[in-house]
Amino acid sequence: MRIKRTRKFKHEPVKLTEMSTVTTDEGRKYVTPDEIELPSITTVLSILSRDSIAKWRKRVGEEEANRILVHFLKSEARKYGKQRNIPGVRGTSRLSPYLRFGEISPKTIWHVSKDYSNPGTDHFVREVGWREFSYHLMANFPFLSNKPLRENFEQFPWRDSDEDYEAWTKGMTGYPIVDAGMRELYATGWMHNRVRMIVSSFLVKHLLIDWRKGERWFFDTLLDGDFCSNNAGWQWVSGGGADAAPYYRIFNPILQGKKFDTGGRYVRKWVPEIADIPNANLHAPWELSEGQLQLFGVKLGETYPEPIVNHEFARKRALESFDQILSLIHISEPTRLLSSSYA
């Protein structure tokens, strides 16, 4: 099927042209389009994706990785502690794909960084250390590839909702910071770390969808899709991994957006259909009336999705679900850890 891509930045209905008939082995006939004019968001992402992939292809190899490291240490590393959580600025090194493919090693980063020691650089090096921790976890607990470290989390009552999962993968959840992150991921193969935590928490705790589905999606779409780091990150968010986030820690995507994308730069880049909404309401557009939204060219449910789940309802549901297994979870002494030679 041929896809026609255009540079339209406005949501429009899908247009089907040049219809043809397909007859299946069972004799059923289906009318299918030979040409589709994609909805604008897909068009936007396809354009951005081509540009982003082209940039990555020009920037590969050990020499390039070392150049990026030194440039980061000389320029942004000093501010790393303050900027690392702000997705709208380039406050991180972007070295993760190079680490993933062995174009630079953690030891090299550690040794080179010693010549630029300051609080920001030291913080950056500690974050690289978490990557190594994830490798030690997988080496000593190989079952982590498909099971949680805290075994009783296997009894968690996950929901099986293909509709919610698909909305999450496409960045169409109705929560702007979540949608911005998922669209950045699909368009570029990369996502800011703060936003990774927000979107993964949303899948696991707002939608109650098994963390392993999110882990697989990240691994399939991330340029820096590192098996060990990815696994450790998702286990951390779910509450069932080593040094895991407390089960009752449920990221509020509205407050996270307001705190870390205060000016809306990140959301406006990746969710252009709501770009005209003022900062005060950008991360919760449903708080505006229908008339107010029309002033900004937005109609929820048509130009931008309504929230697929209410935050307060989702939080309450998640806590109730965790309470079901709380009595079975030995937070300080997970059985699998004690039975391992690594204990």
For residue 65 the two structure tokens come to 């990785």
Annotate 207-238 with DSSP letters as a single string: S-B-HHHHHHHHHHH-TT--HHHHHHHHHHHH
- Catalytic-residue membership of 312: no
For the beta sheet containing 15-23, the strands, ordered from the edge strand earlier in sequence to the opposite edge, are 2-4, 29-37, 15-23
- Catalytic-residue membership of 56: no
Q: Which residues contact 178 (CB under 8 A, 6 or more apart)?
A: 168, 171, 198, 199, 202, 253
- Catalytic-residue membership of 168: no
Residue 15: φ, ψ to 5°: -105, 125
Q: Which of 193, 279, 281, 286 is catalytic?
A: 193
Encode burial over 287-298: b for 16+ CB neighbours within 10 A, e otherwise: ebeeeebeebeb
Q: Which of 12, 56, 130, 287 is catalytic?
A: 130
Q: Which of 127, 287, 306, 320 is catalytic?
A: 127
- Catalytic-residue membership of 273: no
Start-to-end CA span in the chain (Å): 55
| Number of CB atoms found within 10 A of residue 335's CB | 12
- Tell how far CA 118 is from the center of its chain: 30
Whether the CB-CB separation of 137 and 232 falls below 8 Å is answered with yes
Q: Which of 234, 236, 270, 273 is catalytic?
A: 234
Q: Which of 64, 66, 118, 158 is catalytic?
A: 158
- Catalytic-residue membership of 236: no
- Catalytic-residue membership of 193: yes
**Amino acid letter, 96:** S
For residue 111 the two structure tokens come to 């040794």
User: Could you list the active site residues?
Assistant: 127, 130, 158, 193, 211, 234
